Structure 1
Amino acid sequence: MKNTYDFAIVGGGLVGMAIAYGLAKRGQTVAVLDGEDASFRAARGNFGLVWVSGKGRKEPDYGRWSFESSRLWPTFAEELEDASGLKLGYSRPGGLNIALTEDSLAASVENVDYLYRQDARLTYDVLDGGRLRGMVPDIGDDVVGAVYSENDGHVSPLYTLRALFTAFAKAGGDYVPKAAVSTIERRGDGFRLDTALGTFCSAKLVLCAGLGNRDLAPMVSLDAPIVPLRGQILVTERVRPFLHYPTLSVRQTAEGSVLLGESAEDVGLDAGVTADIVAHIARKAIKPFPLLHSVNVVRAWGALRVMTPDSMPIYDESHACPGAFLTTCHSGVTLAAAHCELLVPWLLGGQLPPILDYFHAKRFHV
């Protein structure tokens, strides 16, 4: 392994590895400088949704960007499976936003209809109780309906990350663990990055370090106004197939286990698990899916999401240090295909996709 590269990627999560693989397969020399195993990693708390429906009420281009990534995901998943020999459990059957009351269903419809009127590709369908039970026979009697979107799907986030590592290595990339970056300096036309394993130099760098970007971004005159938001997830034993369509808080994996989630807690840097939130998640899942009442939970865990003030991504290049980029988002799975295929050409010197013009950090300082 050498110490001078075309690109240094700081952070080896879903965002960093998707970008690193995209660069390496385009012929760039790339080093991924990653932290410790115990570092805060959002990928551990990713629910595995490739989700479009409802995204972008504050800024419709977020919905469009998610749609573009969803459109690329079938080919992206096939490419990763071929490179790694892994099955990612990817499918796009469409997703369900389930409603237990008429008011919540009406609110969901209002949201997706607004987005559909901005972009007709953001399609949706409103399902009453009868149509929904035709698709999901085990749905509970208390469910009044759902919003369905054909654009939504799901995948295993951990298999995806593992496949990205394998594909990146096969493309010639260097992954350097236990190399948390302590300082970054502009040196001539490139950058010097000091780590616990020594110094690395690169012509360009991309900060994908999640919460670590808060400290790293100012070193290259960038701004990363991000905060942690804890999410807890439960996984059950394997059960018979009953849920073909992913939902926002319950999804059945390709192996048969069921993931339960959708908590959002402002607790600082605490990635722990709490009994009250675990109980809340379980009760919330049982109501639409009563069969889960008798299913055993085998594991629960927490992880810290990386959130901006408006929950949308940041894509920036430093004006003071050209060639230094910042990428941060909390939709690392959904946007992985877009990061690999549509964002990388910008990093290589092309134009930022116009759809991303809004997603700079200065939007928080106007």
Structure 2
Amino acid sequence: MQQDFLIIGGGVVGMAVAYGLLRAGCRVTVLDGSDDSLRASRGNAGLTWVQGKGAGMPAYAELSFEASLAWPDFAAELEERTGLDLEYEHRGGVDLCFNQEEAEARQREYSAIQSTSPYLARQFRWQYLDRTSLASYLPGLGEGVHGGTWSPHDGHCNPLYLLRALFSANLGLGLDYRPGCEVHLLTPLMNGFRAATTHGTYEAERLILAAGLGSAALAPMLGLSGAVRPVRGQVLVTERLQKIAQLPTPQIRQTASGAYLIGDIQEEVGFDRGVTLPIMQQLADRAVRIFPFLAHARLVRSWGALRVMTPDGHPLYEASRQYPGAYGLSSHSGISLAAFHAGRLAESILQDSLNHEYAKFSGARFSRSALNP
């Protein structure tokens, strides 16, 4: 019996959409790469975030906000299905500013997003707080921090546990999971699509390309744009320390185990996933500026990972007009948008209404921007 969907890519984006389709009763095969594939899902900080999303594209900010509203039920459902604790917390978050200029620019940006979206003007809550006012949210905050924007809509989770829970839930719903199947050719057929891999060929009526950075090479085969590039991030991890009731920030957050994740770096270095001493020093210095008590904490691990970044930094959702039934999905906010990907986005794909409902996220915007710089 032919599968309803082939999904290329077993990261958080692909597995979240698979979860939504499987819940709807679809037959789904996921073709995943090898263990050494470029995997953004294993290298991120685990934020479920609204702040800062959508500058220049209010629709993205609205999606992020709606995803944050859906996350509590999404997490509870996954935990009930699998018995796995996602370490999800939704108590708000703070995005730090280190000087007056940065603080003023941040406030202008958030006000501009709200001014172009009546929905967010009504719903999105945020406030700029000086360092003293942040003390109750971030005990131990250093004098070198100017302040930050606080919002009740932000949160965080363990991204590895999220991915594990999606795998477990999907397998329980009948997912046909094929690891180690690097796809090198996608072919439209009369009644579906064929994927040629390192371990044979697979066919289905419809196909979803959620291959992260691999989409750049595969998307043109289906008449999709696949406009993505790698942007490196580096992360430092401290030893486990006593838990403190602190809100997460993009710059640093304490995990459920007590370790601190230190990051928020973006580097244009191609496909280099390495870590570098200057960046590690920069991250360590900033961490101590934020929380001086970390000066004596031991660092136990570091890693580099590659974000899946579109030209404007916003998600890419599109259905092929040349080959109906093929879809391309790319986003560097796979954790934040996971509830949306498993919910409304999966429903839109199932109903084949992606281009109608999410036209603003199509790759066509990149060709338009090229014509109108």
Please indicate the TM-score interval, normalised by the length of the shorter structure: over 0.9
Q: In structure 2, do the counterparts of structure 1 residues 205 and 355 end up closer, same or farther at CA, with 3 Å as the change threshold?
A: closer
| TM-aligned CA deviation for residue 136 of structure 1 | 2.2
How is 1:29-40 mapped onto 2 (pairs within 5 angstroms)? 29-40=27-38
Could you tell me which residue of structure 2 aligns to residue 16 of structure 1? 14
Q: Which of 232, 237, 262 is residue 230 of structure 1 equivalent to?
A: 232
Could you tell me which residue of structure 2 aligns to residue 80 of structure 1? 78
| TM-aligned CA deviation for residue 218 of structure 1 | 1.0
CA contact (8 A) 1:43 1:158 kept: yes
Q: Which of 292, 297, 300 is residue 299 of structure 2 equivalent to?
A: 297
The worse-fitting range, judged by mean Cα deviation, of 181-190 and 11-20 is 181-190
How is 1:327-338 mapped onto 2 (pairs within 5 angstroms)? 327-338=329-340
Matched, 1:250 2:252: yes
The worse-fitting range, judged by mean Cα deviation, of 125-134 and 232-241 is 125-134
Q: Which of 73, 95, 98 is residue 97 of structure 1 equivalent to?
A: 95
How is 1:50-65 mapped onto 2 (pairs within 5 angstroms)? 50-65=48-63
Could you tell me which residue of structure 2 aligns to residue 357 of structure 1? 359
Q: Which of 327, 336, 342 is residue 325 of structure 1 equivalent to?
A: 327
CA contact (8 A) 1:116 1:123 kept: no
Matched, 1:204 2:206: yes
CA contact (8 A) 1:54 1:115 kept: no
Using structure 1 for the length normalisation, give the TM-score. Answer: 0.97
Q: Which of 267, 276, 279 is residue 277 of structure 1 equivalent to?
A: 279
Could you tell me which residue of structure 1 aligns to residue 187 of structure 2? 185
| TM-aligned CA deviation for residue 364 of structure 1 | 0.7
- Provide the secondary structure at the position in 2 that maps to 1:246: coil
Determine the C-alpha separation between the residues in 2 that align with 1:91 and 1:234. 21
CA contact (8 A) 2:186 2:193 kept: yes
- Provide the secondary structure at the position in 2 that maps to 1:212: helix
Q: Cα deviation per residue 1:258-296 (whole Å; 9 max; x = unaligned)?
A: 100011111111111111111111111110111111111
| TM-aligned CA deviation for residue 100 of structure 1 | 2.1
Unaligned runs of at least 5 residues, structure 2? 369-373
The worse-fitting range, judged by mean Cα deviation, of 8-17 and 131-140 is 131-140
Determine the C-alpha separation between the residues in 2 that align with 1:47 and 1:350. 32
Could you tell me which residue of structure 1 aligns to residue 108 of structure 2? 110
AA aligned opposite 2:72: P
Could you tell me which residue of structure 2 aligns to residue 28 of structure 1? 26
- Provide the secondary structure at the position in 1 that maps to 2:327: strand
Determine the C-alpha separation between the residues in 2 that align with 1:337 and 1:285. 30
AA aligned opposite 1:280: Q
Could you tell me which residue of structure 2 aligns to residue 341 of structure 1? 343
CA contact (8 A) 2:325 2:352 kept: no
| TM-aligned CA deviation for residue 354 of structure 1 | 6.5
Q: Which of 173, 176, 179 is residue 174 of structure 1 equivalent to?
A: 176
Determine the C-alpha separation between the residues in 2 that align with 1:54 and 1:323. 33
Matched, 1:146 2:148: yes
Determine the C-alpha separation between the residues in 2 that align with 1:128 and 1:354. 43
Could you tell me which residue of structure 2 aligns to residue 71 of structure 1? 69
AA aligned opposite 1:79: E
Q: Percent identity?
A: 44
Determine the C-alpha separation between the residues in 2 that align with 1:302 and 1:130. 33
CA contact (8 A) 1:315 1:356 kept: yes
AA aligned opposite 2:285: R
CA contact (8 A) 1:88 1:156 kept: yes
Q: In structure 2, do the counterparts of structure 1 residues 218 and 353 end up closer, same or farther at CA, with 3 Å as the change threshold?
A: closer
CA contact (8 A) 2:315 2:331 kept: yes
Q: In structure 2, do the counterparts of structure 1 residues 22 and 211 end up closer, same or farther at CA, with 3 Å as the change threshold?
A: same
| TM-aligned CA deviation for residue 73 of structure 1 | 0.3
Moved over 4 A (4+): none
Report the number of matched residues: 364
- Provide the secondary structure at the position in 2 that maps to 1:185: strand
- CA RMSD in angstroms, aligned pairs only: 1.3
Q: Which of 194, 197, 200 is residue 196 of structure 2 equivalent to?
A: 194
Determine the C-alpha separation between the residues in 1 that align with 2:325 and 2:17. 15
Q: Cα deviation per residue 1:175-206 (whole Å; 9 max; x = unaligned)?
A: 10011111111111201111122111100000
| TM-aligned CA deviation for residue 134 of structure 1 | 2.7
Could you tell me which residue of structure 1 aligns to residue 4 of structure 2? 6
Could you tell me which residue of structure 2 aligns to residue 259 of structure 1? 261
